[in-house]
Amino acid sequence: MSIRVSSLVRPGSGHRRGRPWAAPRVVLVAMLLAVLGACSDEALGDLGGRSSDWIGEVATTLATTTTVPPVLTRSALEAEWVNDELGDPGPEASPDEVLTTVFARAGDASRFLQASRAEIVAVTPDVIFPETLPFEVGYVTSQLVIESRTLRLANDPTVAFGLWSVEPYTRSRSVGQSAVLNVATDPAGAEVANQSDTEATCAAFADEERLCSIENFLDLPVWRLEGDGGVIHLWYRDPYRYELDGGHDVDEELIHTLIGSMVPLADLLPDG
């Protein structure tokens, strides 16, 4: 008897068709196995090392502050010389002619005659002035000083300069004026004071109202006079005596800088 295998059917089993989802399932299982293989301990072994590398190399920016020192001084050429608007004397004008012009312009109101830098240089060519000023000084007033009711320069002072932190005369001197520089004609005093073989003393300046000391920050002696009105620094440059009054709020190191920067006023003319 010949029997065909294909015809044998288990009793009660019935006929079952092929499973159409079997092949995709096999493929899916294969893919999962491949992924798991790629994620083995060996594949992930250096992951922590790589992450620690870039974490350790993160650049950090620290906030820094730079302290800029305050500006304490300015050039005298940067200040506004308020009397320069009064004009320059003619190039051929004599000192007497310039003084006459200044006096006629001022009238008989005061001994202190407002004058421009150029007029002061024309009348008193040897006068010197600080090339360096405190930064707060934005304005300078300048006067020639005459004897009362005469057309003749006074000796004490001969020239006066006001150093102002505000536009002159818009506020009281005690508030708006930073310092005053008076220039007195004193050739005899300058000769004695500047003799190299003569020791400077306070005999001529000390009294019951002010204390006197001598400072040596220049090649010439400088007298420091302190009283109820404040501190005055005094020194000589032939033929003049200079007195710089800085009041009570004077920064004495700054005053020393000013005195050390003295140059001929002629060097500080607008076109000088």
Model confidence over 229-256: pLDDT tens digits? 899 999 999 999 999 998 777 789 999 9
Name the pLDDT band for 216 (thresholds 50, 70, 90). Answer: confident
Q: Is residue 119 part of a domain?
A: yes
Mean pLDDT (whole number) for 29-46: 48
Q: Is residue 14 part of a domain?
A: no
Does residue 9 surpass a pLDDT of 60? no
- What was the pLDDT predicted at 63? 61
DSSP track, the chain: ----GGG---TTT------TTHHHHHHHHHHHHHHHHHTSTTTTTTHHHHHHHHHHT---------PPPPP-EEEGGGSEEGGGGG----TT--HHHHHHHHHHHHTTS-SEEE--HHHHHHH-TT-EEESEEETT--EEEEEEEB-TTSSSB-SSSSEEEEEESSSTTSS-HHHHEEEEEEEEE-HHHHHHHT-TTS---STTT-BTTEEEEEE-SSSS-EEEEEETTEEEEEEEETTEEEEEE--SS--HHHHHHHHHTEEEGGGGSTT-
Does residue 37 surpass a pLDDT of 90? no
Does residue 48 surpass a pLDDT of 50? no
Q: Is residue 39 part of a domain?
A: no
Q: Is residue 53 part of a domain?
A: no
Query: Based on the structure, what is the number of domains in the chain?
Result: 1
Name the pLDDT band for 195 (thresholds 50, 70, 90). Answer: confident
Q: Is residue 176 part of a domain?
A: yes
Q: Is residue 27 part of a domain?
A: no
Q: Is residue 156 part of a domain?
A: yes
Domain range enclosing 158:
76-268
Mean pLDDT (whole number) for 152-164: 97
Q: Is residue 106 part of a domain?
A: yes
- What was the pLDDT predicted at 127? 98
